[in-house]
Amino acid sequence: MQSEPKVDPKIIEEILKFSKNIIEAPKLVSAPDEISLEVTPHDIVQQMDKTRLLHYKPITEKQHKTPLLISYALINRFHILDIQPEKSWVRNLLQQGFDIYMLDWGTPTSMDKYLDFDDYVNGYLDTYVEYIKNESSTEKISLQGYCTGATIATTYASLHPESVKNYIATAPVIDGWRDTTVISNLAKHMDVDKMVEIIGNMPPEFMYYAFSVLKPFEQGIEKYVNFFKNIENKKFVDSFLRVEKWLGDTPPIPGELFKQWIKDIYQDNLLIQNKMHIEGQLVNLKNIDMPIFTQVAVGDHLVSPECSMPLHYAVGSEDKTLRMYPTGHVGMIASSLSQKKVLPELGQWLAERS
């Protein structure tokens, strides 16, 4: 007779506990809709169309003279830079005495399908930079760009170097041909003209698809299993839900802007070759002559290091620093590593030049 396979009672125990956690979950945690992602106190100091300029309230008595404007990415929203107090990029910089402004690109609608690079760079970004210069009585400000926000900030720094005192490029999307990510593969085969002509803006659903194919099993299964396993761990659950809510909130990208971004960065790779034009103006990276600090994450699966690093070598600046961190795209800006290593290094670099 065949002996029956032995099952470890702990497996049964684990399964029962897991099932109990799923049933208990709604009683223990908030629904994502009930969580506010705007953590650090701020004022909305300017608005233009659907974009907003946030000014964070200072938390130190002494402040550095040069204000810092953060140009967040076009994908998802700026909340990841202030996702929770102990992991907040913004709060950390405020604690280091910096005067922080944040550009919220807002949520474009069908009406905004003709907004292009010129509107974003020479329109919104330039208007807000001028506002900050006036408010702080400075001739130049410090500028930080993150991900696709760094593509916009990079073109701005090239076209308006007279307004930028220091430039920080965090995981910038620069050299599309060197990018080794799934996003770049999809972008290279996209008929972007047809997409913009027929549906207008780049729909958020398409972005969700692009994200779902990045580490699909780790992200699609394992992280939710871990969530239910740790349902009684308040700190873990709060952090998980905040990041999930942020991930699920990505606005559409204006059609014309998206078209030029895909073509000029991923398909024709014009930016790094100094061949990209914005409203007839040539974007030459050699014009970026201010101090520049480039931050790259070695494990970035959204913007590969090979795509970001060429910026460091292409600019005209003599004062330039490149830092690589053993983390991922989001880990670089919202993790304990970013608090312990990335932000102190950035703060020190910026303080010496502010």
The residues annotated with a catalytic role in the active site are: 147, 300, 329
Stretch in the footprint of another protein (CB under 8 A) among 1-9, 26-34, 230-238, 262-270: 1-9
Q: Based on CB atoms, which residue is closest to another protein, 60 or 110? A: 110
* Region 222-241 residues binding another protein, contact defined as CB under 8 A: 222
Q: Is 221 in the site for another protein (CB under 8 A)?
A: yes
From candidates 22, 28, 59, 213, binder to another protein by CB under 8 A: 213
* Region 160-199 residues binding another protein, contact defined as CB under 8 A: 180-182, 185-186, 188-191, 194-195, 198-199
Contact partners, residue 105, CB within 8 Å, separation at least 6: 50, 51, 72, 74, 120, 124, 251
Determine the residue type at 223: K
* DSSP characters over 189-248: T--HHHHHHHH-SB-HHHHHHHHHTSSHHIIIIIHHHHHHHTTT-HHHHHHHHHHHHHHT
Burial zone of 331 (CB within 10 Å; 0-12 exposed, 13-18 middle, 19+ buried): middle
Q: Based on CB atoms, which residue is closest to another protein, 37 or 48? A: 48
* Region 35-64 residues binding another protein, contact defined as CB under 8 A: none
Cα 23 from Cα 34, distance rounded (Å): 19
Q: Is 26 in the site for another protein (CB under 8 A)?
A: no
* Region 78-97 residues binding another protein, contact defined as CB under 8 A: none
Q: Is 280 in the site for another protein (CB under 8 A)?
A: no
* Region 96-135 residues binding another protein, contact defined as CB under 8 A: 110-111, 113-115, 118-119, 123
DSSP H or E stretch at residue 152: helix 148-159
Q: Based on CB atoms, which residue is closest to another protein, 34 or 218? A: 218
Alpha carbon of 329 to those of 1, 64, 216, 237: distances in Å?
Answer: 56, 28, 16, 21
Q: Based on CB atoms, which residue is closest to another protein, 215 or 323? A: 215
Please, which residues bridge with residue 320 across strands?
A: 292
Q: Based on CB atoms, which residue is closest to another protein, 14 or 43? A: 14
Q: Based on CB atoms, which residue is closest to another protein, 182 or 322? A: 182
Burial zone of 252 (CB within 10 Å; 0-12 exposed, 13-18 middle, 19+ buried): buried
Q: Is 14 in the site for another protein (CB under 8 A)?
A: yes
* DSSP characters over 70-108: EE--SSS-GGGGGSSGGG-HHHHHHHTT--EEEEE----
- For the record, the structure tokens of 123 come out as 């329109």
Cα 86 from Cα 100, distance rounded (Å): 17
Residue 61: CB minimum distance to another protein, A? 34
Cα 168 from Cα 324, distance rounded (Å): 13
Size of the site for another protein (CB under 8 A): 37
Cα 94 from Cα 117, distance rounded (Å): 30
Residue 258: CB minimum distance to another protein, A? 14
From candidates 8, 34, 61, 318, binder to another protein by CB under 8 A: 8
Cα 14 from Cα 225, distance rounded (Å): 12
For β-strands 276-278 and 281-283, DSSP reports them as: antiparallel
Q: Based on CB atoms, which residue is closest to another protein, 56 or 128? A: 128
From candidates 2, 3, 11, 27, binder to another protein by CB under 8 A: 11
Residue 227: CB minimum distance to another protein, A? 15
Q: Is 215 in the site for another protein (CB under 8 A)?
A: yes
Binding-site ranges for another protein (CB under 8 A): 5-8, 10-11, 14, 110-111, 113-115, 118-119, 123, 180-182, 185-186, 188-191, 194-195, 198-200, 213-218, 221-222
